[in-house]
Structure 1
Amino acid sequence: MTIVGASLSGLYAARELRAQGYDGRLVIIGDEPHTPYDRPPLSKDFLTGRADETQLALSDAEESAELGAEWILGVRARALDARDRTVLLDDGRTVSTDGLVIATGASARRLPGYALAGVHTLRTLDDARALREELTRGPRRVVVIGGGFIGAETASSSSSLGHSVTVVEAAPLPLVPQLGAEMAAVCAALHRRADVDLVTGTGVAGLRGAAAVTGVDLTDGRTLPADIVIVGIGATPNTAWLAGSPLALQDGVLCDDGCVTALPQVVAVGDIASVGGHRAEHWTSATRQPKAAVTNLLAGRTAETAVAVPYFWSDQYGARIQFAGRHRDGDTVRITEGELSGGAPAEGGFLARYERDGRTTAVLAVDRPRPFMRARRELARGAGEERARSVLR
């Protein structure tokens, strides 16, 4: 068996293969030189210096020995030859395999044409090292492009280090697709409460600077002075190496509900997998999908599904935001615990329920972890019952 992607989901797939009884040759290929590490702390504790690299490691020497895997790190997969069942590597080597787990994740989108010092993305450990080194040089003017989760978390970390921070978001509010306008406005208030400037409804026209960035030009004609620019405008699934293969590629690798691709001996997990038409770039999906994917890979058919209620969390400005379910336009939102103060979460946070046709479809909490977990379990039970009813119809 071969796993392409020495990532969180790749490591979990390796663990599942051994746990489910596979005792043959196991090869894990990764384009980074690092063994698997945890990405969420990169924008938070690692960036601020509260965590070091040893705390990011997802496995140790003892587990590596137990897995008995052959690691090929620092080398990209270049192509998949489905007919010969081989993975071609950038260094000219080929790896033959009876089964393949695709876990190559996604790459940060960049602003095209701007190779200036001081401009950063944050996706990998090397990205985080470079950004942390700059953020420790004393007070700087930081502009974060994009108000999504990575943008908000890096803005929060930068602010906590004493920098002057501005977040630029092209949409009227950050996180509207995920949370809806009403709750997105509440989360936007967290930026302002922390004295971080939030500029919305305008895009980026370009960057200023010769060798190093000095400013960000906005589409409304303004220019923001900047010593550091952090680009957080989303990620693109790493599917280029699969071009020309029989796999269906559309915003990721298309899979059925069990992570099985168009080729029964190939499954996909994590950020690259579009499972049942949905691609989720979240830690929870990356850790849960491998169990079903490996079960189906070993069975040679879809015997188990990986469909689950979507869940994500984000830590911003000392607040923990948790969300489960799917928001849709037209949902009614009710705060059922806690309250708001001046449009922001009051002390003690709150729990909000999204409702449609008399039933809860999603829940959002800020600093209410226990009530949220109860509501999330209720949501999962309801989703399971709905799936069961649909099977019986």
Structure 2
Amino acid sequence: MGEALRVALAGLGTVGAGVIKLIDANRTLIKRRAGRGIEIVAVSARDRARDRGVDLSRFDWTDDTASLASRADVDAVVELIGGSDGPALTLARAAIASGKAFVTANKAMIAHHGLELAEAAEEAGIAFKYEAAVAGGIPVIKGLREGAAANEISRVYGILNGTCNFILTTMEAEGRDFAEVLADAQRLGYAEADPSFDIDGVDAAHKLSILASLAFGTRIDFGAVAITGIRDVLAIDIAEAQALGFRVRLVGVGEAGPGGLFQRVHPCLVPVTHPLAHVTSSLNAIVAEGNFVGRLFFEGRGAGEGPTASAVVADLIDIARGEGGPAFAMPVASLAAPEIAQAGERRGRAYLRFTVADRPGVLAEITAAMRDANVSIESVIQRGAAVDGAVQLVMVTHEGPERCVADALERLRGSQSLTARPMLMHILDL
């Protein structure tokens, strides 16, 4: 066996400490699988005094994170700082420029700067790996980049944020509303004190843009992802979805077709017959559809110390073996710059929930708007008594162009019959 792969680790939060614990626990197995040992030699973090549950005295500590990139005793740099810019990006650029293999779990940085970093890594002839950036311990990056490399992928979609999935499935199981379950998620550590990044769909959109690049051979285009979070999902939506044979999930969908590349993160109704409907708690799941392999389904823990550390160390094992290759499955110069597909031309069914004044004529007004926009209504549901003079009205449409539903909602904009903004969720018929 050769000399150990010497690693510098930046960021000693939950995942960083988990990387150290994993390497300590599985040192012999890792050495056998990698063909040589993996040794952490230097670390950097903001707080030296914090107890992380691991012995850090054996590592060289530096307060200057960027200096890790220039150390002669380091072969690979692991970045677990987070953030799309700032110290994380500075370290990434410096490490690659210094010829160090680079590993990160930073989906935001990859979504915004991944192509730049991948191109620099190609020019430097070093490995740039990020398995932990999408879906934690689920090997979906490797699955798409290597396992499905011979396939033309037509669609990739899935549950990409564990916080949202925990909230939605808890609402489903307990019949409680969003705000109450969010507070529980924060108390239990599933959601941050400021949960906006997760519940507004941004985290899932970062991951979707990366998966789309890998799946379709296109340049990452985070700005083209249409994003809707779960703030407006009510307990009534969960209950009505169940009554109709669906479950509500936040789903990221990427499709490549003649009309261009379509990317969207949105809460949608998933049929109970679909595997995604049975993904609960904080689990993640991704589906990829290849023209020869068919449907691939990846499921597992998408975050946390163990799963994310597992993915980071798996990347280090690849580097120790000398396994590299383009970060996005093909050289950056070969990645296409596709047109953005127009969502309005997509066909499908929709779930609509209106909060309306409890008075005669309201239903006629809404159905007239649907008629004038060429939306065909499959069902109309109203349950329960009025609360504060308003009732909840639910509609499910027949299949049709999405632009027609958007037109109907625009016709209702400003209506005195609506006491709140309508809720629109597309139905996942995949």
TM-score, normalised on structure 2? 0.30
Larger gyration radius, structure 1 or structure 2: 2
Larger strand fraction of residues: 1
Asked which structure has the greater RCO (Cα within 8 Å, sep 6+), the reply is 2
TM-score, normalised on structure 1? 0.32
